[in-house]
Amino acid sequence: MEARPPPQPPTTAGEAPTRVETASEPPRKRARHDSSVDPRLAECLQKQVFPHVDFQISTLPPDKVDTLKIGKQYNKPGNLVLGSCSDITLRAYPEHRIVRPVVEKGENSTDAMRQSQDPWLYSSVVSSDYDAVHDRAFTCSFDRTAKIWKVDKSGASMRLLGEWVHGGNVNFVAASKHESGMVATAADVASEAVRIYNVDEANISGSPFRSYSCSRVTDDRGNTVSTEKWAYFPATMQWGLSDGVKHLLLVGYSPRSRTGDDNDIPELRRDTGELCLWDGLTGERWRVTSATTQNVFEVLWHPTQPCFIAATSPLGLDLEPSVRTQIRIFRPADKDEFGMKAYSPVMALDCTAMDINELTIMPNSFSFCYITAGCTDGNTYVWDTARGEKPIHILRHGEPIDEYRGDREREDVGVKFTAWGTTPDRFYTGSSDGVLKVWNVRSLSRPLVRNLLEAPAPITAGMFSPDKSRLVVGDASGRVYMLSINEEREQALTAMQVPLPGSGYKTIYRPPSIIPHPDPPAPTHDAQGRPIVAETGPALGRAYLANGHLERYPDPTIGVVQGPRYAETGLFRRELHFYDNPSLPLLAKTEAMQQEALKPRRSFLPTKKRWEQAYMLRPVKGVDSVQRLHARNRSLDLDIERALEEARLALERERINEIGDDDDLDYED
């Protein structure tokens, strides 16, 4: 074991000058710090794209309104987009979709609302991965499928190869770096939530797979632990990265509410979970000797060594009260000691944050490394394993852009992007304050280098290109920013000259628009699997008559009126009834305007007066139309005096001209 220096107190960082000028640093070190980020990166090419829904680059997060009734009504395409950095294009794909469920109650349940909506509902795409060895891309979604794609070399397009259907929302898909090309998925189901596929190139959709469950699915008596309200679901999943562990799949489980209310989870279960390690080639489960029953937030493998880290709920007897999470470092254990292949912890790092979003590892020597944790409190905690269990930095972001109520750590997303640059002294974070920050963690006194980007919405994702020459960042409003140190190689954007108040112009670069996908064909079956019959206006009318919702009045001048089963349609002006209840009487002001209320109960008027009274019962619009029609008909009346003599005589013989007013006729006995 190497000797460790005594632990150092952590430094906190907030706003600082844009350039680090620490006097204690030698000039050569300062020059290396400043040159490690190309100066052009600060004025990098910013390309904004506005898709229809919130999305990320490597993983597309759940569209939260997708779970809400109003969100389903206004759901739009754009949940899966392929970007090409060389062509500066984003192209949408419609494959992750389901038939729109029928809303049975409320204002969105009317036929008019249903007819106006897209028959497809585009589900949130929440994870994606790429297998560089076999040149296949993978995506998964809340449509309960994982899909396999073949991407064009230029990145401008891709085609669907197949799909894997699951029993619940698919939250994770991960391609192994192993030569076998194994792919793992994890879904929201209580048992057999994890699958490991062996891709069959001849029949990708029918590829064989093994299913895996955590041991907490049942208790010691064999009873099912989960209920209709909560269950243990996979919360994180990672394949091994270094040689010798690429076939190992690490999965962390957490208790999760099925209804979205954490109060459904029993209090004794909230800090519990399970850490599972499986051999994808043999199906064998390896033993993890510590923290196997803790709630798991995130896991990550070391990039070059056969070890991993896991962020869990705290475990131990002598913990400080401020410690609310821990990160454990696991290494392979002696097989003879445990009687099976196993991993054991060698170090535990204490963290005061309630929840951990992102983990990173950056080796700084053969035996030690930097470990970071981006958390929901808006801070990123940095440890140097050579310095002990306490963090050396707490890198702080500002207040979140979006408003929140209550505890920030519970309500805010916090830090969602953490990544290392080309060297250990360049670290990037993006948080809910919309700021992308650059840090030098080797500077213990002033680690902030600069604010690289300020987005108008919380930063939710980001990723470096393999050569670190490009950085792509996405925010919660749907914008995508591409930062590049090779600006001269990038495609120029469309420029606009906008006049400024007074004099002068400002050049604005228009972001490229997302390339929409063609409308997919209409579904043939509804969400319940029933065949969909195309309904035209006449067909709907005949159906209403056949079902008794409407009926024809005997008087053809009246037409169709409400039928005996009209109430089943729910087509009422509820606001015109007492308490918005159609079964209750109309409001007085509405009742007073009804024709039945205006019609006299009994009339002894002559025929002509009754005829005029009937028109008085009609709305004003109807009376106006009758008057106009009457004036037109008067202009067309036959003038007997001007008629031809033969016609006049013929009419007189038929006594037509003697027909007068109805008042001259006696209809009374």
Instruction: Write out the E strands in 166-312.
Output: 170-175, 183-187, 194-197, 209-212, 230-239, 248-257, 274-279, 285-288, 296-301, 308-312
Region 105-111: what's the mean pLDDT? 69
Percent of the chain with pLDDT over 70: 76
- Cβ contact 272:216 at 8 Å: yes
- Cβ contact 233:168 at 8 Å: no
In this predicted structure, the answer to whether residue 382 has a pLDDT above a threshold of 90 is: yes
Report helix, strand or coil for 153: coil
Please give the residue range of the domain that contains residue 645.
604-669
Q: Is residue 590 part of a domain?
A: no
Q: How confident is the model at residue 54 (pLDDT cuts 50, 70, 90)?
A: very low
* pLDDT, the chain, mean: 80
In this predicted structure, the answer to whether residue 101 has a pLDDT above a threshold of 70 is: yes
Q: Which two tokens stand for residue 234?
A: 């996979």
Region 219-230: what's the mean pLDDT? 74
Q: Rounded to the nearest 5 degrees, what angle is found at the Cα of 444, between the Cα atoms of 438 and 448? A: 20
Q: What is the pLDDT of residue 85?
A: 78
Q: Which two tokens stand for residue 275?
A: 């850490």
Q: Is residue 661 part of a domain?
A: yes
Considering only 120-124, 305-309, 662-666, which range has the smallest mean pLDDT? 662-666
Q: Is residue 621 part of a domain?
A: yes
Torsion of CA 230, 236, 237, 240, to 10 degrees: -150
Q: Which amino acid is at 296?
A: V
Q: How far apart are CA 592 and CA 598, in angstroms?
A: 8
Considering only 57-61, 111-115, 174-178, 561-565, which range has the smallest mean pLDDT? 57-61
Region 562-570: what's the mean pLDDT? 87
Q: How confident is the model at residue 651 (pLDDT cuts 50, 70, 90)?
A: low
More confident residue, 88 or 658: 88
In this predicted structure, the answer to whether residue 236 has a pLDDT above a threshold of 90 is: yes
| Count of structural domains within the chain | 1
The phi-psi region of residue 613 (left if phi > 0; otherwise alpha if psi is between -120 and 50; otherwise beta) is: alpha
Q: How far apart are CA 214 and CA 274, in angstroms?
A: 7
Whether pTM exceeds 0.85: no
Q: Is residue 642 part of a domain?
A: yes
More confident residue, 301 or 642: 301
Region 502-515: what's the mean pLDDT? 79
In this predicted structure, the answer to whether residue 36 has a pLDDT above a threshold of 90 is: no
Give backbone dihedrals phi and psi of 418, rounded to 5 degrees, phi first.
Answer: -140, 135
Region 402-417: what's the mean pLDDT? 88
In this predicted structure, the answer to whether residue 325 has a pLDDT above a threshold of 90 is: yes
Q: Is residue 669 part of a domain?
A: yes
Q: How confident is the model at residue 94 (pLDDT cuts 50, 70, 90)?
A: very high
The CA–CA distances, whole Å, from 659 to 135, 612, 638 equal 94, 20, 14
Q: How confident is the model at residue 219 (pLDDT cuts 50, 70, 90)?
A: low
Q: What is the pLDDT of residue 48?
A: 32
Q: Is residue 643 part of a domain?
A: yes
Q: What is the pLDDT of residue 264?
A: 87
- Cβ contact 294:271 at 8 Å: yes
Region 539-557: what's the mean pLDDT? 87
In this predicted structure, the answer to whether residue 617 has a pLDDT above a threshold of 50 is: no
In this predicted structure, the answer to whether residue 254 has a pLDDT above a threshold of 80 is: yes
Q: Tell me the pairing of strands 183-187 and 560-562.
A: unpaired
Torsion of CA 654, 655, 656, 657, to 10 degrees: 140
More confident residue, 434 or 600: 434
Max CA pair span of the chain: 133
Q: Is residue 339 part of a domain?
A: no
Q: How confident is the model at residue 193 (pLDDT cuts 50, 70, 90)?
A: very high
Q: How confident is the model at residue 166 (pLDDT cuts 50, 70, 90)?
A: very high
DSSP string for residues in 427-487: EEEE-TTSEEEEE-TT-SS--EEEEEEE-SS-EEEEEE-TTSSEEEEEETTS-EEEEES-G
Q: Is residue 415 part of a domain?
A: no
- Cβ contact 429:421 at 8 Å: no
Q: How far apart are CA 340 and CA 326, in angstroms?
A: 26
Q: How confident is the model at residue 3 (pLDDT cuts 50, 70, 90)?
A: very low
Q: How far apart are CA 338 and CA 351, in angstroms?
A: 29
The CA–CA distances, whole Å, from 619 to 59, 352, 431 equal 60, 72, 61
Region 296-315: what's the mean pLDDT? 96
In this predicted structure, the answer to whether residue 536 has a pLDDT above a threshold of 60 is: yes
Q: What is the pLDDT of residue 324?
A: 94
Q: What is the pLDDT of residue 259?
A: 81
Q: Give the 3-state DSSP-derived string for 535-547, with helices as H, strands as E and coil as C.
A: CCHHHHHHHHHHC
Q: What is the pLDDT of residue 262?
A: 81
Q: How many CA atoms lie within 13 A of 483 on its CB side?
A: 22
Region 31-58: what's the mean pLDDT? 31
The dihedral built from the CA positions of residue 475, 479, 482 and 488, taken in this order, carries a sign that is: negative
19-33, 529-543, 576-590, 601-615 — which one is most confidently predicted on average? 576-590
Q: What is the pLDDT of residue 258?
A: 85
Report helix, strand or coil for 70: helix
In this predicted structure, the answer to whether residue 446 has a pLDDT above a threshold of 80 is: yes
Alpha helices by DSSP H, 304-459: 335-338, 408-411
More confident residue, 147 or 613: 147
Q: How confident is the model at residue 21 (pLDDT cuts 50, 70, 90)?
A: very low
Q: How confident is the model at residue 612 (pLDDT cuts 50, 70, 90)?
A: low
The dihedral built from the CA positions of residue 541, 542, 543 and 546, taken in this order, carries a sign that is: positive
Q: What is the pLDDT of residue 165?
A: 97
In this predicted structure, the answer to whether residue 30 has a pLDDT above a threshold of 70 is: no
Q: What is the pLDDT of residue 40?
A: 33
Q: Which amino acid is at 346?
A: V
pLDDT in tens, 348-369: 999 999 999 999 999 998 899 9
The CA–CA distances, whole Å, from 73 to 76, 108, 163, 530, 534 equal 9, 8, 26, 21, 21
Residues 6+ apart with CB under 8 A from 218: 224, 225
Q: What is the pLDDT of residue 489?
A: 52
More confident residue, 254 or 88: 254
Q: How far apart are CA 449 and CA 411, in angstroms?
A: 29
pLDDT in tens, 262-297: 888 888 888 899 999 999 999 999 999 988 889 999
Torsion of CA 471, 84, 139, 181, to 10 degrees: -90
Region 67-91: what's the mean pLDDT? 70
In this predicted structure, the answer to whether residue 70 has a pLDDT above a threshold of 50 is: no
pLDDT in tens, 454-491: 999 999 999 998 888 889 999 988 888 888 877 555 55
- Residue that has been written with the tokens 């680059």 in this structure: 57
